[in-house]
Amino acid sequence: MTKIPEVWIFAEQQLGQIEPTVFQLLTRAREIAPRFKVVAVLFETPTQHLAATLAEYGPDKILVVQDPRLAQVADAEQATLLAHLVQRDQPNSFLFGATALGRSLAPRLQAKLQTGLTADCLALHFEDELLVQTKPSYGDNIMCEIVCPDKRPQMATVRPNTFAAQKVEPDRSRPELEVVTDLPWPEVAHFQIIAEKKVATPQTGLSQAKRIIALGRGAADAASKTVARSWAQKIDAQIGVTRPLTDGGGFSVKDQIGQSGQTVAPELLFCLGISGAVQFLSGITNAKVIVAVNPDPQAAIFSVADYGFVGEANGFLTALQQVDQRKQAALK
Amino acid sequence: MKIVVCIKQVPESNQVKLDPVTHNLVRQGVAGKINPFDRHAIQAALAIKAQVGGEVIVISMGPADNEYCLREGLAMGADRAILLSARAFAGSDTLATGYTLSQAIRKLGAVELVFFGRQAVDADTGQVGPIVAEFLGWPQLTLASSLTLKDRRLEGMRRLGDLEQTVALTLPAVVTASNDLNQPGYLQPRMIKASFQQEITVWQETDLAADPLRLGVSGSPTVVRKVMAPQRKQQETVFLATDPQQAALDLHAALHAKNLI
Amino acid sequence: MVDLTAAQLMLHQMVREFSEKEIRPNDMAIDQQRFFVNGIYQKLIDNGFLGLMLPEQYGGAGFDAIATAQTIYDLAVGNASVAVTLEGHYKTLDQLLKYGQPSLLERYLPSANQRIFAFSMTEPSGGSDHSTLGSTAVRQGENWVLNGNKIMITNGGLAEVYCVLVKTAPEEFSVFLIDQNMPGFKFGKRENFLGLTGTPIAEIFMENIVVPADHLLGKVGQGHEIGDSAHADARILMGAVAAGIIEHELEIAVAYAYQRKSGQFRLTELQAIQRKLADIALAKETTTLLYQEAAALKQQRRPYAEVAAMAKTHGSRQAVRAGDDALQILAGYGYSLDYPVEHLIRDARALEIAEGTVEKMRGEITKLEVATRI
């Protein structure tokens, strides 16, 4: 009897919170390997109980290692524990989020297992049991398709937010649960975690901001600014402006995006009441997802936007905030 | 203290394109340079040396012209440079590279601290540091944003997402430097000139007591099957519903699925 | 195109990065505030720019003429005033190295790693025509006593050491080194110039400044030759400044024309714009070839004064014209004081005057052609 190949996903967590990339990887693994067994590998302390959260994203199995010492654990210790599990179950593939931890841990495990690891993948698919991994090089200017033909597991770290996470219907997810409590603990000498604390993302400048709300002439009225500020606070975004708004009204040249201002590269950019002059567009070429709101359907900003709403910024943003409040309330 | 910094030579510019006919990489400008992240690693090593004395040795693996990045390391203030260069090393992936570097570090002997940059700007893996740490059996501090040495105890911080970790390691150890660790200055013209007066040691596989099966192509489990130009996604704007309520609902769902809000 | 050695390449990469990170972001502010804002001047000193071409024995890096010209080019791409300030310093050091007496060089050149040296010929009565000079040096025992007024000195006020061209007898000209710390040395007013506004251009007064005999460069009566030599060295670097300005203009014009659409076309797809962009690119290339050729000739110890004059004559006009083309491509933005194109034209315009007017240089080029052919 041949064993069903397993795709493992390391369920990275920080202080009891599962890293969102894990959900994205679980979703993607189910899509690209419908016939394989998708396994979430979770390290937790006996009091954390994070398996239920993982189950919402439909893994076939959750492999939990529980140990109080996992509260504070060295990279090398985690790598050794994972190596034990891999040697026991021989998975086909092992995926990690390309987070700071994933990128620290996966290569140590790779070295232990003497297998291949592809960094920061943007696309994954299977050809039979061969994992085809696409990774960017040269600052995303080149894509490389990489395979690991002879060694198993096939390992990859995957760039966060590359795939969308999708929960499964609650009654359709009944993952098998295995709790391991008796792995030999690999005491790593010479390493000690002194402190861990949650820190807020530091308020960096516009050029470093992950989320930006940009205001143009069409959103320069007081009402639009107020709703933009409150939305910015909610989603932890910074506010930038086009050149016409730099003359007073609470904004200055340091808030300006564009050729004579700052070049930005946020993951999410709202462009409100901005027509999309060349001077502005040249400053946002590296923005990942752009949402444009403008009453003029012909506005140049729509040609670079991922999502467009033809209308006034104030009304749209107010509606968006209401939706967000309802969703937040529903979560509680 | 004997401190090693592993560095890489990268193309001068990341503006590489694929030749549409041959599918070979077309690099703009033939020149190479030190991987910019590695300058933080060298700077960190120099700071430790300034504190406790000893020497800073820069090591790079690659073809003969990679001595250029080693000279940049010397111009920053490293004491000596070793180039790992041999046909047998060609085609190494991160695993084989990590193995080769760790053998060189063993050969040097009595190394107590090994620094890496956070990743190389061309391949962008950041894997070789942890691999070397594993092969040497040493603890690691990746993405160090601060670092202090007291006696033989290294204390530092790193950011894991929203988590800030303060850790202590006893030497020997491997550290990969984040950009926040320090601010390397510009090379001094005098130091540039002086770096070209220095000898660079070249080691081949025979110098390393290495297992030939773990070097180069044979030691590399991964295979690059294809190199492609990125598919510039045709900018398709999804126009949302004209009703603000519906539009807001749809956008919220879309952004949420992408973990953007 | 000159092939750089590995050391020159490393220097070039460093200077370009310095220029991109430290200078270019301050380009507009330097022009508007008329000085080297944000500590740029101190950064030039701290990063070893002043001693770049000074031999190692004086604490410098000892880079050659090709590397020096490349450096000026790389800095000029960031801001032309910064480049011109170093141009004035380097050409002065060149004359000291060529004509200075060893005892003077040992005393003074180590300090050139930290302070700017300037070369001064012009007086109220005339510019490059030396015959009208009023400043004098009179021998007094072992010393010389200098009197007079020099104007329009590149780096005047910023520089601390000056090489001045004075009369030592009727129709006899000589160059002396003086220091701002010497009794009788006084600074005059700073010029209010149209372009290159970051570089101070100012006057100095000499009132019975007494200098030892070894402050004489070369021999008594060698002043004309030293002046011509300074001009030739300066003009190579001025060609490099021009090429740097054109590169800056090209960068702005291409970026704008590529992004801007007229109807369904990018401006770069329109022939009228293509003509302008191609001309700017051509201007950059020809100017670059000329200054690099002049630097290479100098490095090979072959005659270079004529090609140096060509580099400046050609480059300065091309930089103005290319700026005009760039302004036209950017239209309203080009004409706006909030965007850099207009100041690039003002900066470029200075190059047609400084270090000898283009009219005078055409005269020298013709003279050299006649001398070699007839």
pLDDT given at position A250: 79
Task: Name the closest residue on chain B to residue A269, using Cα atoms.
Answer: B260
Answer whether A104 sits within 8 Å of B261, measured CB to CB.
no
CATH number corresponding to A204-331: 3.40.50.1220
| DSSP per-residue string spanning A138-167 | TTTTEEEEEE--SSSSEEEEE-TTSS---P
Separation CA C218–CA C222 (nearest Å): 6
Element containing residue C15 per DSSP (H, E): helix C6-18
Instruction: Write out pLDDT tens, residues A222-237.
Output: 889 999 999 999 998 9
Q: What is the pTM of this model?
A: 0.88
What is the model's pLDDT at position B117? 97
Please give the ipTM for the structure prediction.
0.92
In Å, how far is C9's CA from the nearest CA of chain A? Answer: 21
Residue A149 · residue B222 · CB < 8 Å: no
Active site residues of C: 355
Chain C residues at the B interface, defined by Cβ less than 8 Å, are 6-7, 9-11, 13-14, 17-18, 47-49, 51-52, 56, 59-63
With an 8 Å Cβ cutoff, is B121 touching chain C? no
Q: What is the pLDDT of residue A327?
A: 86
Q: Tell me how far the alpha carbon of residue C287 is from its chain's centroid.
A: 15
CA–CA separation, B173 and B180 (whole Å): 20
Say yes or no to pLDDT of A203 above 70: no
Q: Assess whether pLDDT exceeds 90 at residue A36.
A: yes
Binned average pLDDT, 10 residues per bin, chain C of 374 residues: 87 96 94 95 98 97 98 98 98 98 98 97 76 90 96 96 96 96 96 96 97 97 96 98 98 90 88 97 98 97 97 98 97 92 98 94 94 91
Does the distance separating the beta carbons of C9 and B189 come in below 8 Å?
no
- Whether A15 shows a pLDDT value over 90: the answer reads no
- Distance CA(A243)–CA(A41), nearest Å, equals 50
Chain segment B162-218, per-residue pLDDT in tens: 889 999 999 999 999 999 999 999 999 999 999 999 999 999 999 999 999 999 999
Structure tokens at C313: 């004559």
Output the pLDDT for position C345.
98
Average pLDDT over residues A20-36: 94
User: Which of A260, A282, A300 is closest, CB to CB, to C339?
Assistant: A260
Domain ranges of chain A: 6-180, 204-331
Residue C34 has what pLDDT? 95
Asked whether residue A153 carries a pLDDT value surpassing 90, the answer given is yes
Question: What is the chain B residue with the closest CA to C49?
Answer: B189
pLDDT tens track for A112-123: 999 999 999 999
Residues of A in contact with C21 (CB under 8 A): none
Average pLDDT, chain C: 95
- State pLDDT tens for residues C159-180: 999 999 999 999 899 999 999 9
Q: Could you give the CA distance from residue A257 to residue C154 in angstroms, rounded to a whole number? A: 37
Fold observed for domain A6-180: Rossmann fold (3.40.50)
The tens-digit pLDDT sequence of chain B (261 residues) is 999 999 999 988 777 777 777 767 776 555 789 999 999 999 999 999 999 999 999 999 999 999 999 999 999 999 999 999 999 999 999 999 999 999 999 999 999 999 999 999 888 899 999 999 999 999 999 999 999 999 889 999 998 888 899 999 999 999 999 999 999 999 999 999 999 999 999 999 999 999 999 999 999 999 999 988 877 555 688 899 989 999 999 999 989 888 888
Burial of C86 from C-beta contacts in 10 A (0-12 / 13-18 / 19+) = buried
Position C128 scores a pLDDT of 59
In tens, the pLDDT along A254-298 reads 888 987 777 888 889 999 999 888 778 878 887 889 999 999 888
Q: Report the candidate in A234, A291, A160 with the shortest Cα–Cα distance to residue B251.
A: A291
Give the CATH H-level superfamily of domain C117-221: Butyryl-CoA Dehydrogenase, subunit A, domain 2 (2.40.110.10)
- Sort out which chain B residues have CB atoms less than 8 A from A295's CB and list them: none
> What pLDDT, on the 0 to 100 scale, is given for residue A286?
78
Smallest Cβ distance to A289: which of B15, B167, B258? B258
Domain boundaries, given as residue ranges, for chain C: 6-113, 117-221, 224-373
Contact B134 A197 (CB under 8 A): no
Distance from C-alpha of C354 to C-alpha of A112, rounded to nearest angstrom: 68
Asked if the domains A6-180 and A204-331 are classified in one and the same CATH topology, the answer is: yes
> What's the CATH number for C6-113?
1.10.540.10
Q: Does domain C224-373 have CATH number 1.20.140.10?
A: yes
Q: How many whole angstroms separate alpha carbon A105 and alpha carbon B131?
A: 9
CA distance B43 to chain A (A): 21
